[in-house]
Amino acid sequence: MNSHLFQGSLLRLTAANPDSSADVDALMRWARDSEYLRLQEGDPAMPRSAARAKEILSNAQDHDGATFILRPLDDERALGFVGLWANWTHGDAWLGIGIGDRADWSKGYGSEALRLALRYAFTELNLHRVSLTVLEGNARAIRAYEKAGFVLEGQARHYSRYDGQWYGEVFMGVLREDWEEKDSSSKIQVPN
Amino acid sequence: MSISDQLFEGEHIRLAPLDPEKDAETESKWTHDPDYQRLISAQPVRPLSPGQIKKKYEEAEKEKKHNQFVFALRTREDDGAGRLIGFARIEHIEWNHAHGGLALGIASPDDRGKGYGTEALRLLLRYAFDELNLHRLTATVFEYNTVALRFFEKAGFVIEVRRRQALNRDGKRWDWLHLGLLREEMKDKDSRFKFQDSN
Protein backbone atom coordinates (compact mmCIF):
# COMPACT_ATOMS: atom_id res chain seq x y z
CA MET A 1 0.00 0.00 0.00
CA ASN A 2 1.09 3.56 -0.62
CA SER A 3 1.80 5.90 2.24
CA HIS A 4 -0.77 8.55 3.19
CA LEU A 5 -2.85 9.25 0.07
CA PHE A 6 -3.85 12.78 1.08
CA GLN A 7 -0.52 14.00 2.43
CA GLY A 8 2.23 15.68 0.41
CA SER A 9 5.35 17.53 1.53
CA LEU A 10 3.79 20.99 0.93
CA LEU A 11 0.05 20.47 1.05
CA ARG A 12 -2.84 18.18 1.87
CA LEU A 13 -5.88 16.98 -0.10
CA THR A 14 -8.87 17.85 2.08
CA ALA A 15 -12.65 17.97 1.89
CA ALA A 16 -14.36 21.04 0.48
CA ASN A 17 -16.42 22.68 3.20
CA PRO A 18 -19.49 24.59 1.99
CA ASP A 19 -20.27 25.54 5.62
CA SER A 20 -16.92 27.27 6.10
CA SER A 21 -17.08 31.00 5.41
CA ALA A 22 -13.30 30.90 4.85
CA ASP A 23 -13.74 28.43 1.95
CA VAL A 24 -16.62 30.46 0.48
CA ASP A 25 -14.56 33.66 0.76
CA ALA A 26 -11.57 31.98 -0.90
CA LEU A 27 -13.63 30.86 -3.92
CA MET A 28 -15.09 34.37 -4.27
CA ARG A 29 -11.64 35.97 -3.95
CA TRP A 30 -10.07 33.70 -6.61
CA ALA A 31 -12.88 34.55 -9.04
CA ARG A 32 -12.16 38.29 -8.78
CA ASP A 33 -9.06 37.48 -10.86
CA SER A 34 -10.38 37.25 -14.42
CA GLU A 35 -7.18 35.64 -15.71
CA TYR A 36 -7.64 32.83 -13.20
CA LEU A 37 -11.21 32.33 -14.43
CA ARG A 38 -10.29 32.40 -18.12
CA LEU A 39 -7.55 29.84 -17.61
CA GLN A 40 -9.96 27.75 -15.57
CA GLU A 41 -13.05 27.48 -17.76
CA GLY A 42 -14.65 28.45 -21.05
CA ASP A 43 -17.76 30.10 -19.63
CA PRO A 44 -17.85 33.88 -19.81
CA ALA A 45 -15.87 35.20 -16.83
CA MET A 46 -18.21 36.42 -14.10
CA PRO A 47 -17.55 37.41 -10.49
CA ARG A 48 -18.73 34.66 -8.15
CA SER A 49 -21.56 35.19 -5.68
CA ALA A 50 -21.43 33.59 -2.24
CA ALA A 51 -24.33 31.36 -3.26
CA ARG A 52 -22.45 30.16 -6.33
CA ALA A 53 -19.25 29.58 -4.32
CA LYS A 54 -21.26 27.52 -1.84
CA GLU A 55 -22.84 25.53 -4.66
CA ILE A 56 -19.42 24.72 -6.14
CA LEU A 57 -18.16 23.56 -2.75
CA SER A 58 -21.29 21.41 -2.25
CA ASN A 59 -20.99 19.84 -5.70
CA ALA A 60 -17.36 19.04 -4.91
CA GLN A 61 -18.58 16.62 -2.27
CA ASP A 62 -21.02 14.83 -4.46
CA HIS A 63 -20.11 13.72 -7.98
CA ASP A 64 -18.53 10.78 -9.79
CA GLY A 65 -14.88 10.99 -8.81
CA ALA A 66 -13.48 13.34 -6.20
CA THR A 67 -12.72 17.01 -5.70
CA PHE A 68 -10.32 18.17 -3.01
CA ILE A 69 -9.51 21.54 -1.51
CA LEU A 70 -5.73 21.99 -1.24
CA ARG A 71 -4.47 23.29 2.11
CA PRO A 72 -0.98 23.79 3.55
CA LEU A 73 0.22 21.16 6.02
CA ASP A 74 -0.06 23.40 9.06
CA ASP A 75 -3.13 25.60 8.55
CA GLU A 76 -6.67 25.50 7.17
CA ARG A 77 -6.20 28.16 4.48
CA ALA A 78 -7.54 27.11 1.04
CA LEU A 79 -4.78 27.25 -1.60
CA GLY A 80 -6.77 25.87 -4.50
CA PHE A 81 -8.51 22.73 -5.66
CA VAL A 82 -7.95 19.61 -7.68
CA GLY A 83 -10.84 17.50 -9.01
CA LEU A 84 -11.40 14.27 -10.92
CA TRP A 85 -14.66 13.68 -12.79
CA ALA A 86 -14.79 9.98 -13.62
CA ASN A 87 -16.33 8.02 -16.47
CA TRP A 88 -16.42 4.66 -14.69
CA THR A 89 -17.43 2.60 -17.71
CA HIS A 90 -14.26 3.42 -19.58
CA GLY A 91 -11.94 4.09 -16.64
CA ASP A 92 -11.24 7.68 -17.64
CA ALA A 93 -11.53 10.93 -15.67
CA TRP A 94 -11.29 14.64 -16.48
CA LEU A 95 -8.94 16.50 -14.19
CA GLY A 96 -9.32 20.15 -13.18
CA ILE A 97 -6.89 22.08 -11.00
CA GLY A 98 -6.40 25.65 -9.82
CA ILE A 99 -4.15 27.49 -7.40
CA GLY A 100 -6.22 30.52 -6.45
CA ASP A 101 -4.15 33.41 -5.13
CA ARG A 102 -1.31 34.75 -7.26
CA ALA A 103 0.95 34.82 -4.20
CA ASP A 104 0.65 31.02 -4.15
CA TRP A 105 1.54 30.50 -7.83
CA SER A 106 4.91 29.02 -8.86
CA LYS A 107 5.62 27.54 -5.45
CA GLY A 108 5.28 23.91 -6.40
CA TYR A 109 1.74 23.55 -5.03
CA GLY A 110 0.27 22.70 -8.42
CA SER A 111 2.88 20.06 -9.20
CA GLU A 112 2.42 18.37 -5.88
CA ALA A 113 -1.38 18.50 -6.15
CA LEU A 114 -1.12 16.86 -9.57
CA ARG A 115 1.10 14.13 -8.20
CA LEU A 116 -1.31 13.39 -5.36
CA ALA A 117 -4.37 13.53 -7.65
CA LEU A 118 -2.84 11.07 -10.13
CA ARG A 119 -1.82 8.70 -7.37
CA TYR A 120 -5.41 8.85 -6.08
CA ALA A 121 -6.79 8.31 -9.60
CA PHE A 122 -4.67 5.24 -10.31
CA THR A 123 -4.41 3.58 -6.90
CA GLU A 124 -7.76 4.44 -5.27
CA LEU A 125 -10.20 5.05 -8.15
CA ASN A 126 -8.38 2.40 -10.23
CA LEU A 127 -8.73 4.38 -13.44
CA HIS A 128 -7.03 3.52 -16.70
CA ARG A 129 -6.32 7.09 -17.79
CA VAL A 130 -6.77 10.74 -16.79
CA SER A 131 -7.59 13.52 -19.27
CA LEU A 132 -7.42 17.30 -19.21
CA THR A 133 -7.61 20.32 -21.46
CA VAL A 134 -5.64 23.54 -21.19
CA LEU A 135 -5.70 26.84 -23.07
CA GLU A 136 -3.07 27.13 -25.81
CA GLY A 137 -0.18 29.27 -24.57
CA ASN A 138 -0.60 28.43 -20.87
CA ALA A 139 3.02 27.27 -20.82
CA ARG A 140 3.36 27.09 -17.05
CA ALA A 141 0.43 24.69 -16.77
CA ILE A 142 1.51 22.57 -19.74
CA ARG A 143 5.00 22.18 -18.27
CA ALA A 144 3.55 21.05 -14.95
CA TYR A 145 1.24 18.56 -16.68
CA GLU A 146 4.10 17.08 -18.71
CA LYS A 147 6.20 16.78 -15.58
CA ALA A 148 3.38 14.83 -13.93
CA GLY A 149 3.25 12.37 -16.86
CA PHE A 150 0.63 13.88 -19.17
CA VAL A 151 1.25 13.52 -22.91
CA LEU A 152 0.03 15.90 -25.63
CA GLU A 153 -2.86 14.24 -27.49
CA GLY A 154 -3.87 17.07 -29.81
CA GLN A 155 -5.26 20.55 -30.12
CA ALA A 156 -8.72 21.74 -31.11
CA ARG A 157 -8.16 24.79 -33.29
CA HIS A 158 -9.87 28.17 -32.71
CA TYR A 159 -11.65 26.82 -29.67
CA SER A 160 -11.83 29.99 -27.58
CA ARG A 161 -11.76 33.68 -28.32
CA TYR A 162 -10.36 36.23 -25.89
CA ASP A 163 -9.62 39.89 -26.63
CA GLY A 164 -10.23 39.34 -30.33
CA GLN A 165 -7.79 36.47 -30.61
CA TRP A 166 -8.38 32.78 -31.20
CA TYR A 167 -6.85 30.20 -28.91
CA GLY A 168 -6.61 26.47 -29.40
CA GLU A 169 -7.67 24.00 -26.71
CA VAL A 170 -4.82 21.63 -25.87
CA PHE A 171 -5.83 18.06 -24.96
CA MET A 172 -3.53 15.95 -22.77
CA GLY A 173 -3.84 12.48 -21.32
CA VAL A 174 -1.91 10.18 -19.02
CA LEU A 175 -2.29 6.40 -19.13
CA ARG A 176 -1.59 4.28 -16.10
CA GLU A 177 1.59 3.07 -17.82
CA ASP A 178 2.78 6.66 -18.50
CA TRP A 179 2.25 7.44 -14.84
CA GLU A 180 3.98 4.33 -13.55
CA GLU A 181 7.02 5.23 -15.60
CA LYS A 182 7.04 8.78 -14.24
CA ASP A 183 6.09 8.55 -10.60
CA SER A 184 8.24 6.55 -8.23
CA SER A 185 5.43 6.50 -5.65
CA SER A 186 3.63 4.03 -7.93
CA LYS A 187 6.31 1.53 -6.98
CA ILE A 188 6.32 2.02 -3.22
CA GLN A 189 5.38 -1.29 -1.66
CA VAL A 190 4.92 -1.96 2.01
CA PRO A 191 6.38 -5.34 2.93
CA ASN A 192 3.67 -7.67 4.17
CA MET B 1 -26.62 30.93 -50.35
CA SER B 2 -29.40 33.36 -49.79
CA ILE B 3 -32.31 33.86 -47.48
CA SER B 4 -34.55 32.02 -49.91
CA ASP B 5 -32.55 28.80 -49.73
CA GLN B 6 -34.38 26.34 -47.50
CA LEU B 7 -32.66 25.44 -44.23
CA PHE B 8 -34.50 22.23 -43.38
CA GLU B 9 -35.32 20.61 -46.71
CA GLY B 10 -32.92 18.18 -48.34
CA GLU B 11 -33.56 16.22 -51.47
CA HIS B 12 -34.66 13.02 -49.73
CA ILE B 13 -34.73 13.96 -46.06
CA ARG B 14 -35.53 16.92 -43.87
CA LEU B 15 -34.54 18.30 -40.49
CA ALA B 16 -37.78 18.04 -38.52
CA PRO B 17 -39.00 18.59 -34.98
CA LEU B 18 -39.36 15.69 -32.56
CA ASP B 19 -42.78 14.13 -32.15
CA PRO B 20 -42.45 12.79 -28.58
CA GLU B 21 -45.39 10.33 -28.81
CA LYS B 22 -44.47 8.60 -32.06
CA ASP B 23 -40.71 9.04 -31.96
CA ALA B 24 -40.38 7.49 -28.51
CA GLU B 25 -41.72 4.20 -29.93
CA THR B 26 -39.13 4.20 -32.70
CA GLU B 27 -36.24 5.33 -30.53
CA SER B 28 -37.06 2.64 -27.97
CA LYS B 29 -36.49 0.07 -30.75
CA TRP B 30 -33.13 1.67 -31.56
CA THR B 31 -31.99 1.29 -27.95
CA HIS B 32 -32.43 -2.47 -28.38
CA ASP B 33 -29.70 -2.44 -31.04
CA PRO B 34 -26.37 -2.48 -29.17
CA ASP B 35 -24.31 -2.24 -32.37
CA TYR B 36 -25.93 1.09 -33.23
CA GLN B 37 -25.76 2.40 -29.66
CA ARG B 38 -22.06 1.65 -29.48
CA LEU B 39 -21.44 3.70 -32.59
CA ILE B 40 -23.07 6.83 -31.21
CA SER B 41 -22.64 6.76 -27.44
CA ALA B 42 -19.95 5.97 -24.89
CA GLN B 43 -22.56 5.24 -22.24
CA PRO B 44 -23.32 1.67 -21.27
CA VAL B 45 -25.79 0.20 -23.74
CA ARG B 46 -29.22 -0.19 -22.20
CA PRO B 47 -32.64 -0.91 -23.69
CA LEU B 48 -35.21 1.78 -22.82
CA SER B 49 -38.99 1.68 -22.97
CA PRO B 50 -40.96 4.31 -24.91
CA GLY B 51 -41.95 5.80 -21.54
CA GLN B 52 -38.33 6.13 -20.46
CA ILE B 53 -37.46 7.74 -23.78
CA LYS B 54 -40.29 10.24 -23.40
CA LYS B 55 -39.01 11.14 -19.96
CA LYS B 56 -35.57 11.68 -21.53
CA TYR B 57 -37.09 14.08 -24.09
CA GLU B 58 -38.81 16.02 -21.33
CA GLU B 59 -35.64 16.26 -19.27
CA ALA B 60 -33.66 17.40 -22.30
CA GLU B 61 -36.30 20.05 -22.97
CA LYS B 62 -36.08 21.27 -19.38
CA GLU B 63 -32.32 21.22 -19.21
CA LYS B 64 -31.55 22.76 -22.55
CA LYS B 65 -30.32 26.23 -21.82
CA HIS B 66 -30.48 27.36 -25.41
CA ASN B 67 -27.17 25.67 -26.09
CA GLN B 68 -28.61 22.61 -27.76
CA PHE B 69 -30.60 22.18 -30.99
CA VAL B 70 -32.13 18.77 -31.66
CA PHE B 71 -33.61 17.59 -34.95
CA ALA B 72 -35.35 14.44 -36.04
CA LEU B 73 -34.19 13.22 -39.46
CA ARG B 74 -37.20 12.22 -41.55
CA THR B 75 -37.65 11.03 -45.08
CA ARG B 76 -39.64 13.24 -47.43
CA GLU B 77 -41.18 10.36 -49.33
CA ASP B 78 -44.77 10.80 -48.20
CA ASP B 79 -44.47 14.55 -47.78
CA GLY B 80 -46.61 14.36 -44.66
CA ALA B 81 -45.02 13.27 -41.40
CA GLY B 82 -42.23 11.27 -43.04
CA ARG B 83 -40.45 8.26 -41.58
CA LEU B 84 -38.03 8.80 -38.69
CA ILE B 85 -34.58 7.52 -39.73
CA GLY B 86 -32.27 9.17 -37.22
CA PHE B 87 -31.45 12.23 -35.18
CA ALA B 88 -29.07 15.15 -35.28
CA ARG B 89 -27.91 17.58 -32.62
CA ILE B 90 -25.87 20.73 -32.45
CA GLU B 91 -24.97 20.76 -28.80
CA HIS B 92 -22.61 21.97 -26.06
CA ILE B 93 -22.62 25.38 -27.70
CA GLU B 94 -20.43 28.00 -26.06
CA TRP B 95 -21.82 31.20 -27.51
CA ASN B 96 -18.99 33.40 -26.27
CA HIS B 97 -16.50 31.32 -28.25
CA ALA B 98 -18.89 30.52 -31.12
CA HIS B 99 -18.22 26.80 -31.04
CA GLY B 100 -20.41 23.75 -30.70
CA GLY B 101 -20.49 19.99 -31.06
CA LEU B 102 -22.24 18.04 -33.78
CA ALA B 103 -23.80 14.59 -33.40
CA LEU B 104 -25.63 12.61 -36.04
CA GLY B 105 -27.00 9.08 -36.34
CA ILE B 106 -28.84 7.01 -38.94
CA ALA B 107 -30.30 4.18 -36.90
CA SER B 108 -31.14 1.33 -39.25
CA PRO B 109 -28.44 -0.31 -41.36
CA ASP B 110 -31.08 -0.38 -44.16
CA ASP B 111 -31.07 3.43 -44.22
CA ARG B 112 -27.30 3.74 -44.36
CA GLY B 113 -25.20 4.07 -47.49
CA LYS B 114 -28.00 5.98 -49.23
CA GLY B 115 -26.62 9.46 -48.85
CA TYR B 116 -29.10 10.44 -46.12
CA GLY B 117 -26.29 11.19 -43.67
CA THR B 118 -24.46 13.33 -46.20
CA GLU B 119 -27.62 15.29 -46.92
CA ALA B 120 -28.27 15.76 -43.22
CA LEU B 121 -24.70 16.90 -42.63
CA ARG B 122 -24.93 19.55 -45.36
CA LEU B 123 -28.10 20.92 -43.81
CA LEU B 124 -26.57 20.87 -40.33
CA LEU B 125 -23.39 22.65 -41.41
CA ARG B 126 -25.39 25.36 -43.05
CA TYR B 127 -27.60 25.64 -39.95
CA ALA B 128 -24.59 25.82 -37.63
CA PHE B 129 -22.56 28.29 -39.68
CA ASP B 130 -25.25 30.40 -41.38
CA GLU B 131 -28.11 30.36 -38.87
CA LEU B 132 -26.42 29.96 -35.47
CA ASN B 133 -23.35 31.80 -36.81
CA LEU B 134 -20.94 29.44 -35.09
CA HIS B 135 -17.26 29.58 -35.94
CA ARG B 136 -16.28 25.97 -35.36
CA LEU B 137 -17.85 22.56 -34.90
CA THR B 138 -16.46 19.53 -33.11
CA ALA B 139 -17.47 15.96 -33.91
CA THR B 140 -16.14 13.02 -31.92
CA VAL B 141 -15.77 9.52 -33.31
CA PHE B 142 -14.75 6.21 -31.77
CA GLU B 143 -11.69 4.67 -33.40
CA TYR B 144 -13.59 1.56 -34.50
CA ASN B 145 -16.27 3.62 -36.30
CA THR B 146 -14.29 3.96 -39.52
CA VAL B 147 -17.42 4.77 -41.57
CA ALA B 148 -18.12 7.86 -39.44
CA LEU B 149 -14.49 8.91 -39.59
CA ARG B 150 -14.46 8.83 -43.39
CA PHE B 151 -17.86 10.54 -43.43
CA PHE B 152 -16.68 13.56 -41.43
CA GLU B 153 -13.30 13.77 -43.17
CA LYS B 154 -15.04 13.85 -46.54
CA ALA B 155 -16.96 16.91 -45.38
CA GLY B 156 -13.75 18.70 -44.43
CA PHE B 157 -13.42 17.81 -40.73
CA VAL B 158 -9.82 17.30 -39.58
CA ILE B 159 -8.66 14.95 -36.81
CA GLU B 160 -7.33 17.25 -34.11
CA VAL B 161 -7.17 15.10 -30.99
CA ARG B 162 -6.57 11.43 -30.36
CA ARG B 163 -7.52 10.54 -26.78
CA ARG B 164 -5.56 7.32 -26.41
CA GLN B 165 -7.35 4.24 -25.07
CA ALA B 166 -10.24 6.34 -23.74
CA LEU B 167 -12.79 3.62 -24.54
CA ASN B 168 -13.10 0.10 -23.23
CA ARG B 169 -15.27 -2.16 -25.36
CA ASP B 170 -15.28 -5.94 -25.04
CA GLY B 171 -12.08 -5.78 -23.04
CA LYS B 172 -10.24 -3.91 -25.76
CA ARG B 173 -9.00 -0.34 -25.61
CA TRP B 174 -9.86 2.13 -28.38
CA ASP B 175 -8.93 5.75 -29.03
CA TRP B 176 -11.54 8.50 -28.95
CA LEU B 177 -11.01 10.92 -31.85
CA HIS B 178 -12.04 14.57 -31.90
CA LEU B 179 -12.46 16.25 -35.29
CA GLY B 180 -12.87 19.96 -35.96
CA LEU B 181 -14.20 22.07 -38.79
CA LEU B 182 -13.79 25.85 -38.97
CA ARG B 183 -16.28 28.09 -40.69
CA GLU B 184 -13.68 29.52 -43.04
CA GLU B 185 -12.79 26.04 -44.18
CA MET B 186 -16.26 25.86 -45.69
CA LYS B 187 -16.03 29.17 -47.48
CA ASP B 188 -14.91 27.99 -50.89
CA LYS B 189 -17.20 25.05 -50.61
CA ASP B 190 -20.42 27.01 -50.65
CA SER B 191 -21.81 24.73 -53.33
CA ARG B 192 -21.67 21.88 -50.83
CA PHE B 193 -24.55 23.49 -49.00
CA LYS B 194 -26.59 23.72 -52.14
CA PHE B 195 -28.99 21.22 -53.56
CA GLN B 196 -29.84 20.83 -57.21
CA ASP B 197 -33.54 20.86 -56.46
CA SER B 198 -34.05 23.77 -54.08
CA ASN B 199 -37.70 24.05 -54.96
* Residue B58 binned pLDDT confidence (cut-offs 50, 70, 90): confident
Q: Does A157 touch chain B (CB under 8 A)?
A: yes
Residue-wise pLDDT tens digits, A103-132: 999 999 999 999 999 999 999 999 999 999
Residue A75 lies in a domain: yes
Closest CA to B185 of A34, A125, A158, A136: A158
DSSP B20-86: HHHHHHHHHHHTT-HHHHHHH--SPP----HHHHHHHHHHHHHH--SS-EEEEEEE-TTSSS--EEE
Residue boundaries of the structural domains of chain B: 13-134
Cβ within 8 Å of A, B 52-91 = none
Give the domain B13-134 fold. Answer: Aminopeptidase (3.40.630)
DSSP for residue A162: E
- Closest to A97 measured CA to CA, from A33, A13, A166: A13
Going from the C-alpha of B94 to that of each of B133, B136, B163, the distances in angstroms are: 12, 10, 22
CA–CA separation, A64 vs A54, rounded Å?
Answer: 19
- What pairs with residue A7 in β-bridges? A12
Q: Please determine, for residue A61, whether its predicted confidence score (pLDDT) is greater than 60.
A: yes
Query: Which chain B positions have a beta carbon within 8 Å of A45's beta carbon?
Result: none
Tens of pLDDT along B73-122? 999 986 667 899 999 999 999 999 999 999 999 999 999 999 999 999 99
- Could you tell me if residue A2 is inside a domain? no
- Does A161 contact B at CB distance below 8 Å? yes
- B145 vs A102: CA distance, rounded Å: 45
Asked if residue A5 is part of any domain, the answer here is no
Chain B closest-CA separation from residue A3 CA (Å) = 29
pLDDT digits (tens, 9 = 90+) for B154-188: 999 999 999 999 999 999 999 999 999 999 987 54
Residue A52 lies in domain: 11-186
> Å from A108 to nearest chain B CA?
28
Distance CA B183, CA B136 (A): 6
**Residue among A64, A126, A92 at smallest CA distance from B176:** A92
Interface mutation vs chain B, best among A85, A89, A176, most B CBs within 10 Å:
A89
- Using only C-alpha atoms, chain A has a radius of gyration, in whole angstroms, of 17
Question: pLDDT tens for residues A70-84?
Answer: 999 999 999 999 999
Q: Confirm whether A192 is domain-assigned.
A: no
Mean of all residue pLDDT scores within chain A: 94
Q: Is A93:A73 a contact under the CB 8 Å cutoff? A: no
Q: What's the confidence (pLDDT) of residue B189?
A: 53
State CA B67 to chain mean position distance: 15
Contacts of B88 (CB under 8 A, 6+ apart): B15, B70, B71, B73, B102, B103, B104, B105, B120, B124
> For B43, which residue in chain A has the nearest alpha carbon?
A89
Q: What is the model's pTM?
A: 0.92
Q: Is residue A4 part of a domain?
A: no
Q: How many structural domains are present in chain A? A: 1
For residue B182, list chain A residues with Cβ-Cβ distance below 8 A: 157-158
What is the band of B194 on the pLDDT scale with cuts at 50, 70, 90? very low
Which CATH number fits the domain that encloses residue A20? 3.40.630.30
What was the pLDDT predicted at B177? 98
